[in-house]
Amino acid sequence: MITQTEIDALRHKEIKPQQLLINGKWQDAENGAEIDVVSPIDGQKITTIAAASAADVDVAVSSARNSFERGDWSRMAPQGRMRIMHRIADLIAQNAKELAVLGVRDNGTEICMAIKAEPGSAAGTFRFYAEAIDKVYGEIAPTADNVLALVHREPVGVVGAIVPWNFPLMIGAWKIAPALAAGNSVVLKPSEAASLSLLRLADICLEAGLPPGVLNVITGNGAVAGEAMGLHNDIDIIAFTGSGGTGRRLMEYAARSNMKRLYLELGGKSPNVIFADAEDLDQAAKVSAAGIFRNSGEVCVAGSRILVERAIYDEFIERLKNQAEKLKVGDPLDLANNIGAISTKQQLEGDLAFVERAVAEGARLVCGGQQLHAASGGYYMQPTIFADVRPEMDLFQHEVFGPVVAVTPFENEEEAVALANGTDFGLAAAVWTSKLSRAHRMVRNIKSGVVHVNTYGGAGNNVPLAGMKQSGNGADKSLHALEKYENLKTAWISL
């Protein structure tokens, strides 16, 4: 836990201008360009980050390739890599409060959520993959008596990881840790809207003994640095979490360059299905409110469509409204608040535009829909509920990535499944029912990478997070994530 006194001591800590990490050394962008870091808490500049050019990306990729070919990490004994990754986890945990407050100043996540979801999660992720290093290995295949067939697992080489702004430390760890565990070198590009906690993580990795060049960090604009990574012929894999539009561009860049492998997590429009036989509607409403409004709705798996059986439709909306109105929105570094800031001014403007379109299309505004605390200079928004949202509406089909939920009625289980599957996305879902058979049918029939039953959110490192349809491909978390960062090589040996 963290106290308000500890938070306040870290709240105004000076943050020096941030540089790029290339080959174990911090350095400015080659052209000296910088980007201002503006805190969503009050709209004030808190530092700068380096704005990498394509030339900087090229140097970082060369550093990663050289470290990989030298074998500084890729051929280090498993016990040595385990030791360093455990040390990284330990240092994350030791610096958790600093990391959490730093991240909140950068992206506005409420502190109670941030300390668990960011350093807490990242430390656990590094520990999980550290332990996997000497426990996941190759195979001996059955063959004729005079042949030995071995299946080797080998690191792919250079991994490009492009990480979003909503949970940079958590999602960064989901990509960096398994890539390192498999023996790869990494070029990491955080979002220009939230780079600070990942830059601090890079410092921690150096302190823990990660060899120079094994992790390189390139900050800057996606249109420059991200594009350079996508087009680079010496990056073997890109693992990306972000928007569908950027994912499509990365696919184009891969085709135009070396046909690098791409693993994409592209968000969702996740259905949260409430049946009339749900055992506790108050609990369902409370958890559903948290499932969309925590972190101001800036969660890839947010339950942004709530589908409610007609028999309890009006009653559930009232319960959901009561829960939303209990949430206190404000300074994310104040423990008295439940919900923090929208990460950027641009994101807030986009969220408010969704509200305007929903009203224009005929959805019923139940509560919220307004900016809050404008005088503070920060970016805050009321938790917002729209009822009577029809499948053809923009709010039903497209990801807001803000504190806005669409509520839609259904008549029966068949219609619930059709509505749940009625978007291009398939990342997460939830079902509330007291009938075990119905729960199993819904898990089977909803096209989604994860389906929660009588809860929303929460999953361990030992299970995958994988999207279906336009929510992406490949899996973050679990041992399955290692598969993205390895090549299989068969040795066919005549005896």
**DSSP, res 375:** G
| Cβ-contact 23, 68 below 8 angstroms | no
d(CA 55, CA 33): 13
Q: Is residue 239 within 8 Å of residue 175, measured between CB atoms?
A: yes
Q: Dump strand ranges (E) for 242-287.
A: 261-265, 271-274
List, in sequence order, every residue forming a beta bridge with 384; answer none if it has no partner.
Answer: 404
Taking the C-alpha atoms of 423, 427, 431 and 436 in order, what is their torsion angle to the nearest 10 degrees? Answer: 120
| DSSP type of residue 95 | T
Task: Count Cβ atoms within 10 A of the Cβ of residue 421 and give its class: 0-12 exposed, 13-18 middle, 19 or more buried.
Answer: middle
By annotation, the residues acting in catalysis are 265
Rounded-to-integer distance, Cα 160 and Cα 24, Å? 17
Cα–chain center distance at 350:
20
Per the structure block, which two tokens stand in for 163?
């990480």
**Residues forming a β-bridge with 302:** none
Other Cβ atoms within 10 Å of 441 Cβ, number: 15
Q: What 3-state DSSP class applies to 389?
A: coil
- Name the phi and psi angles at 100, rounded to 5: -65, -50
CA separation, residue 287 to residues 141, 340, 363 (Å): 48, 18, 23
- According to DSSP H, which parts of 309-412 are helical? 313-326, 345-360, 394-397
Q: Where are the beta strands (DSSP E) in 100-227?
A: 139-141, 147-155, 158-162, 185-189, 215-217
What count of Cα atoms within 13 Å lies in the side-chain half-sphere of residue 143? 16
Handedness of CA 78, 79, 80, 83 (dihedral sign): positive
CA distance 252 to 228: 12
Among 326, 347, 328, smallest CA distance to 402 is for 347
439: helix, coil or strand? helix
Say which residues have a Cβ less than 8 Å from residue 157's Cβ, sequence separation at least 6.
65, 68, 184, 185, 236, 237
Q: Which residues pair with 450 in a beta bridge?
A: 428
